[in-house]
Amino acid sequence: MKPQIIIALDFKSKEEALAFVGRFTDPAYFKIGMELFYAAGPDVVREVKARGHKVFLDLKLHDIPNTVKSAMRVLGTLGVDMTNVHAAGGRRMMAAALEGLTEGAAVRAEQTGEPATRPLLIAVTQLTSTDQAMLGEELCISGDMKDVVAHYARNAAAAGLDGVVCSAWEAGDIHGQVDPGFLTVTPGIRLAGDAADDQSRIATPARAVALGADYLVIGRSITRADDPVAAYQRCLREMEE
């Protein structure tokens, strides 16, 4: 598939987020994460969708299978295009999430009369803020980051999920080890010259595409730019080069 950019709407209120979204006249793909969702609730999802954009609801669920399934059933009614869990919750939790999401999408279809479309379900492998030292010393996971990420990706695929969140540096390996069609969603993207901030495993848009990323999640390189639309277009150009 042609790689796509997902812009992270990391804002503290619905007003701020929608003012930002309003700058984008063409349909785009936006990520709503914990900060915005906890502040504004499902309303902000509906409003971004109503403006013709796609939504990745990034809430990274991680709990016992039954709880995750019930929560996913609710998220499935919101009409988002993609959502996620932590692969660390295990295969049973991921499979339960998928069931809940599928049920929620069916409920939505009944309510709206639209065909049931299950949102894509993606698993976070290792956060892009985690580096090799932290993996071993704090999380007590021995093994190379690449192998750990690939292992989690295989678990996600076995549970029937559509793809994983990983760094661009692991995307090619995952396509090779799991399935070329298994999606890789890659945060930790920075335009050349921008600060890494709290991210560890970063790549530029061009490098991420070269490494095989399917979706590039970009936050601060776009949201903190003086001209966010121009920064978005620069990312698109860089991806196409």
Sign of the C-alpha dihedral, residues 154, 157, 159, 163? positive
The yes or no reply on residue 86 touching ligand C5P (CB under 6 A) is no
Burial of 204 (0-12, 13-18, 19+ CB in 10 A): buried
Per the annotation, the verdict on 60 as an active-site residue is yes
| Binding-site string for ligand C5P from residue 221 to residue 240, where x marks contact by CB under 6 A and - marks none | x-------------------
Out of 32, 80, 122, 127, the only residue in the binding site for ligand C5P (CB under 6 A) is 127
Catalytic position from the list 14, 31, 54, 60: 60
DSSP string, 154-183: HHHHHTT-SEEE--HHHHHHHHHHT-TTSE
Q: Using the rule CB under 6 A, is 33 a contact of ligand C5P? A: yes
Residue 199 binds ligand C5P, judged by CB under 6 A:
yes
Output the CA angle 198-97-172, nearest 5 degrees: 50
Q: Are 190 and 233 spatial neighbours (Cβ–Cβ below 8 Å)?
A: no
10 in contact with ligand C5P (CB under 6 A): yes
Token digits of residue 183: 């999606």
Which residue, 67 or 129, has its beta carbon nearer to ligand C5P? 129
Is 165 among the residues that bind ligand C5P (CB under 6 A)?
yes
- In degrees rounded to 5, what are phi and psi of residue 118? -75, 130
Q: Does 219 bind ligand C5P (CB under 6 A)?
A: yes
Looking at 41-49, 68-76, 219-227, 232-240, which segment touches ligand C5P (CB under 6 A)? 219-227
Stretch that binds ligand C5P, among 36-44, 97-105, 185-193, 207-215 (CB under 6 A): 185-193
Coil, strand, or helix at residue 216?
Answer: strand
Q: What is the chain's Cα-based Rg?
A: 17
For ligand C5P, the closer CB: 58 or 173? 58
Q: In terms of Cα–Cα distance, which of 72, 70, 14, 11 is closest to 47?
A: 14
Q: Considering only residues 83, 128, 155, 204, which one is a binding residue for ligand C5P as defined by CB under 6 A?
A: 128
Number of other CB atoms surrounding residue 25 within 10 Å: 9
Using Cβ positions, the residue closest to ligand C5P within the complex turns out to be 219
What does the block give as tokens for 55? 């939504």
Nearer residue to ligand C5P within complex by CB, 217 or 239: 217
> Is 163 among the residues that bind ligand C5P (CB under 6 A)?
no
Question: Which residues are at the interface with ligand C5P (CB under 6 A)?
Answer: 8, 10, 33, 58, 124, 127-128, 165, 187-189, 197, 199, 217-221
- Residues serving a catalytic function are 60
